[in-house]
Amino acid sequence: MADSAELMSHVKDAQSLSLPFGLEIELPCLGPWRVPGWSFLGLFDVPGFDVQLQLTRFMVVELLAAVLMLVIFIPLARRIARGGRPKGMFWNLFEAMLIFVRDQVTRPAIGRKDADRFLPYVWTVFFFILFCNLLGLVPWLSPPTGALSCTGALAIIAFVLCVGAGMKRFGPVGYVLGQVPEMKLPFIMAVFLKPMILSIELFGLLIKHFVLAIRLFANMFAGHLVLAVVIGFIAQTAGLAIWFGVMPASVFGAVALNLLELFVAFLQAYIFAFLSALFIGMAIHQH
């Protein structure tokens, strides 16, 4: 009988990797490494400590997604650099996706003049999320994008790039002050309103990137959890008469949900890449 823990195992990280026929591989723990202590001008001492890295199922899937990207796009880039005509299904597929992200996502959001400088990041984050989402649909694997640790790290990268691009364009002080739009206000009102607007804008900047992480996490986690529950109905009714009705309905529902998840995998990669590009465009093109 499948219980709630078994249903949650597909959407939770683990220190083992599931394989067909019920096989489990325990993932190794790398380390420990000793970080030496240090002293600051003899005023205070920081003791040394041990650091170790535990490989997990999500980390393996992320590494697999990164390797697939290298295997696919390095040869593709070399072929394009040689100026050859696109040949074959995969070359046309990936080149069409690259052009779509460039022309329909990055350039409209950032502007044609500045877009190409940020295009490598947008391409990378789009395909990394897409590959992680698609690998999560493979049996015995789990989607790293269904964990807040993964989506949060991606959102932090987007935040740092967004703020860094704005500060590089306008300077740290100019970027922060530029969050307040130009307003012709009497001095008394400006003293009270502009600091309030500035605090709201800075807080909103944090909220936008936090929501960027939550949106991807919630969509991937919820979709795979529902899929696991639908499949779990088969095990829950095993040995009962209603199994003969539940089983085909669950299989049909799982197939339909997998098709929906396939669409969501592309959609969420597109949304994350588009919003990241939009936030960068807002940072370098202020009010």
**pLDDT grade, residue 254 (50/70/90)?**
confident
pLDDT band for position 157 (cuts 50, 70, 90): very high
H helices present in the chain, as ranges: 4-8, 57-81, 89-100, 107-110, 112-135, 148-170, 172-177, 187-236, 243-284
Residue of 283, 216, 266, 279 whose CA lies nearest to 101: 266
User: DSSP secondary-structure letter at 2?
Assistant: -
pLDDT band with cut points at 50, 70 and 90 for residue 48: confident
Polymer length in residues for the chain: 287
What distance in Å separates the CA atoms of residue 8 and residue 4, rounded to the nearest whole number? 6
The closest of 44, 76, 62 to 131, measured between CA atoms, is 62
- The C-alpha atoms of residue 285 and residue 118 are separated, in whole angstroms, by 14
Q: Which residues contact 241 (CB under 8 A, 6 or more apart)?
A: none
What's the pLDDT score for residue 218?
Answer: 86
pTM value is 0.83
The pLDDT, as a whole number, for residue 62 is: 92
Report the half-sphere exposure of 261 (CA within 13 A, side-chain side).
28
Q: Taking a C-beta distance cutoff of 8 angstroms, is the pair 170, 286 a contact?
A: yes
